Structure formats: C-alpha cells, structure tokens
Amino acid sequence: MAKAKVAFVCADCGAEHTKWQGQCATCGAWNTLREFILPKTSQAGRVPGGAGYSGESPRSARLLEISTTGHRRIPSGFAELDRVLGGGFVPGSVALMGGDPGAGKSTLLLQVSTALGSDVRVLYVSGEESLEQIADRARRLELAADDLTVASEVTVERIAELVQAEKPALVIVDSIQVMQVQTSESLPGSVTQVRESAAELVRLAKQTGVAVVLVGHVTKEGNLAGPKVLEHMIDCFMMLDAPPGSRYRTLRGLKNRFGAVNELGVFAMTDQGMKEVSNPSAIFLQRPKEMAPGSVVTVTWEGTRPLLVEIQALVDDIQGGYPRRVAVGLDAQRLAMHLAVLHRHCGVSLSDQDVFANVVGGVRIGETGADLALLAAAMSSFKNRALPRDLVVFGELGLTGEVRPVPNGQDRLREAQKHGFTRAILPRANRPREAISGIEAHPVASLAQALGVINELDP
C-alpha cells in the first residue's frame, strides 16, 4: 500500500500541486491552493480494482459499425424544462442545475419528481434536508407524493446501494456540494470531495443507465461552486436565475450534449411552487400606455425561440468626473464600443453624458441582435423624444457603422407581428422575402440610415 500524501488543490480549477505556492500554475488564480490529504490506495487498486472496472479486456470498434438507436427521453412534465433539456431527461446522462439560494431549484425538482412518480420510478436524495422537511414542503405545495421515494443521505456509496435496490429511472441529488465519498479524507464541500463525488455519480449513471440530476450551489460571484472540471464531467448544465425582487425565474442551458445550447425556460414562483410561463414575451412587454423617451422593444433569439424584450436607456449630464457607462443585462463593453461608433459615423458625441442601459424583467441578452435597439434607445433618451409604441428594432452593429444581419430574421418579424407590432427596423439582409401581413419593414444598411428612419417615423 502506498503512503498517504498531501496535495494542494486549486479551489477555482481543481488542479493539484505537490507543494503550496501563491499562484495556481494552471489557471493563474492567487491564494486559491488548499491542502488536502489524499487517501491511502495502492497503484493496482486505483486502476484495475477501482470503481467502474468490469474486469474485461478493453475493446474498440469502428465508428461505422456502431449502431445508434437514438435517445429515449423521459419528459419532465414541464414544457419549459424540457425545452432547456432538449426534450426531456436522457437515460444514462447527468444534468447539473445551479442557482442562487432561494431561486427554486429544490422546489422545481421536487415538483418534477412528484409529477413523474406515477409514470417512472424516481429517487429523490437530499443531503441538506431531513425527510420530514421534504414531506412538509410537498404538503405545502399540495403535491401528489404517493409514488415518490425519498432519502436523506450524503454518502455516494450509500446512494449507489439505493439505486441498485430501488432501480429508479431518475435520481435527483440535492446537492453535490454536501456529498462525499468514503475513500477520500477531505472535508465535504472541498474541491476533492465535489470532484470525486461527481465522478462516482457520473460513473453510476453510465453503468446503470439511470438519469441523474445534480443540484449545485453558486458562489458570491455568481459562479458554480466547486472545481471547473465539474462542468466538463456532466452532460447538461443549467443555471436558474432569480432577479432580485422578481417572482420570475429564467432557466438557461449553458451546456447540453443532447440538445441546443442557450435555450431559455421561464417560470414564475407562486404559492403553489414553480409555474411555467408559456408566453414570456407578453410578460416582459408590460409597458405603460404613454411611452417615455429611452424605451424600445427588440427581438432577441434564445436557443430556438424568439423573445421580445424591452431595452431602456437613460442619457444624462455627468455629475463630475468621467462619464459613466452602466449596462444591466447587456455587455457594458459593447455599450462603450457602440457609443464610439455613434460618434465616429453619425457625429453624435456623448462624451459629456452618463449612459445607463437596462433590459426590463431581469433578462440577460448575450447575442448581438440587440445592438441597434440599444443605440436607438440611447438616442431617444438623448433627444428626449419617445419612440413609437408599435416599433420593434433589431440588428447587429459593426465598427464601420454598418448594420449586419442576424440569424432567424423572418421568425423574429413573425413574433413581433404576433404581439401587435406594426413597424420594424431591421438589417437590409434580413428584409422579408415575402411581405408579412400587418407589419411594415424598414430595412437599413447603416446606423446613420437607421437613425434617419427613426426621425421620420410618426410617434
């Protein structure tokens, strides 16, 4: 048996070092190395005798000779969750759901567990709540929990025994940060324990064909707690965002080996738990009848669906010092870049103005289709002139002042027309090949041309 040795593990990336040093050599983070005692294991027991070893000789096959039968999915009972998952849970896959405390991760997964309990066998394992707490929450939400099997356990080996005994189709582990493996002497929640626990659960899912859902905590910076390698080990990574003061929750898929990435699901937190929002555009477009300057609607593309959101901008005189560029729900660097394009190609300087931009409803826009709408809202606030209520604007802005096309332009127009918008400013390359009934399209090729069209539109 080899002697137990000490390793220094980076809390950010999980890289191991033989001695302590101020900076991690892998990710470059400072003061993130933590000391851990590695378990006493033999070299032979680590490879041929370890978990997941079947005793058979390794085999290989030609790719063309491998038959594929597709993935039989397990619908979750929530259309918004299935959208993010790509159609439902895939047997043998591991999904990870992260989010802030109180966002509704445990509530949503408990609702999913009770909804599936009558169709497939589900095992709900909680390492943070007792069985009485789980039962009390189920009664408070008025969930039908007759067929749901629950357990309060923090040891991965015992969870594996429960899976072998119960033979469920879906296992929910809440949460991965409190799980531990008996072969590791590290404390629960440490980088080593999170990594080893996740590795054992992934191995369990691949061997038994059970779908596993892990719940993950986030740090105060908003990132997933634990080593970064955790996101690489799982098949699907979802983040549940809860804007402060809002009852709406957005579930975004950041990684999915069995579906599209950046899919967005919208839920509402109510007294009866999480409720689906089938038409999120209608929620984010609750605007007053009298339009104020600095507001415009754009059509962003989230995964495989168009989403109408309102962008607001406020341009005001600076109160001393340097002008401020603040963006909430948008990229602040792109805001500063577009203001430079506005000055260079349109002759409008906002160097003596503070510019604030916000996406209403707490939505985060990561695509470039909102560039033109952002500057349209900023110019509306700067000139103190309200834009038409039935106007929608979308398009990507280049550094040379050109308005570049965005994907799925036709679908964006149809979504705007469905919600009552009658006028649209869009890139010339996205102009509709066939006229869309009820909407007047204004294709533009440059930012200057777009601002000219806006000035000619009637309020």
Q: What is the pLDDT of residues 72-122, one digit of tens each?
A: 899 999 999 999 999 999 999 999 999 988 899 999 999 999 999 888 999
Torsion of CA 406, 85, 104, 233, to 10 degrees: -100
Neighbours of 49 (CB within 10 A): 11
| Token duo for residue 254 | 């950041």
pLDDT for 3 beyond 70: no
Q: Label the pairing between strands 353-359 and 305-317.
A: antiparallel
The percentage of residues in the chain with a pLDDT greater than 70, rounded to a whole number, is: 93
pTM over cut 0.85: no
CB 395 within 8 A of CB 299: no
Peptide bond into 175 cis (omega under 30): yes
- Predicted local confidence at residue 37, as pLDDT: 66
How far apart are the C-alpha atoms of 77 and 289, rounded to whole Å? 37
- Give the integer Cα–Cα distance in Å for 238 and 236: 7
Check pLDDT > 60 for residue 40.
Answer: no
DSSP states along 161-173:
HHHHHH--SEEEE
Amino acid at 123: L
Of 236, 266, 269, residue with least CA distance to 253: 236
In this structure, what token pair is assigned to residue 89? 């849970």
Question: Rounded distance, CA 258 to CA 90, Å?
Answer: 8
Q: How many CB atoms lie within 10 A of CB 30?
A: 10
Q: Hey, which of 58-62, 149-153, 239-243 has the most confident mean pLDDT?
A: 149-153
Rounded CA gap, 85 and 367, in Å?
A: 21
Q: What is the pLDDT of residue 396?
A: 97
CA-CA distance, 106 to 272, in Å (whole number)? Answer: 14
Query: Rounded CA gap, 287 and 133, in Å?
Result: 41
pLDDT at 49: 39
Residue 1, number of CB atoms within 10 A of its CB: 8
Angstrom distance (rounded) from CA 269 to CA 248: 6
Residues 6+ apart with CB under 8 A from 93: 205, 211, 212, 235, 236, 257, 258
Tens digit of each residue's pLDDT (9 = 90 or more) over 249-294: 999 999 999 988 889 999 999 999 999 998 888 877 877 778 899 9
Confidence grade of residue 52 (pLDDT, cut at 50, 70, 90): very low
* Confidence (pLDDT) at 31: 86
pLDDT-based confidence at residue 64 (cuts at 50, 70, 90): confident
Confidence of residue 363 (pLDDT cuts 50, 70, 90): confident
Of the candidates 156, 136, 234, the residue with the CA atom closest to the CA atom of residue 197: 156
* pLDDT for position 56: 60
Q: What DSSP assignment string belongs to 269-316?
A: EETTEEEE-S-HHHHHT---SS--TTEEEEEEEETTEEEEEEEEEEEE
Between 51 and 128, the more confident residue is 128
| Helices 447-456 + 371-383 axis angle, to 10 | 50
Give the three-class secondary structure for 418: helix
Rg (CA), the chain: 26
User: What is the average pLDDT across 403-424?
Assistant: 94
**Residue 50 pLDDT > 90:** no
The residues, ordered by sequence, that sit 6+ positions from 435 with a Cβ below 8 Å of its Cβ are: none
Residue type, 94: V
Mean of the per-residue pLDDT values of the chain: 88
Let me know how long the chain is: 459
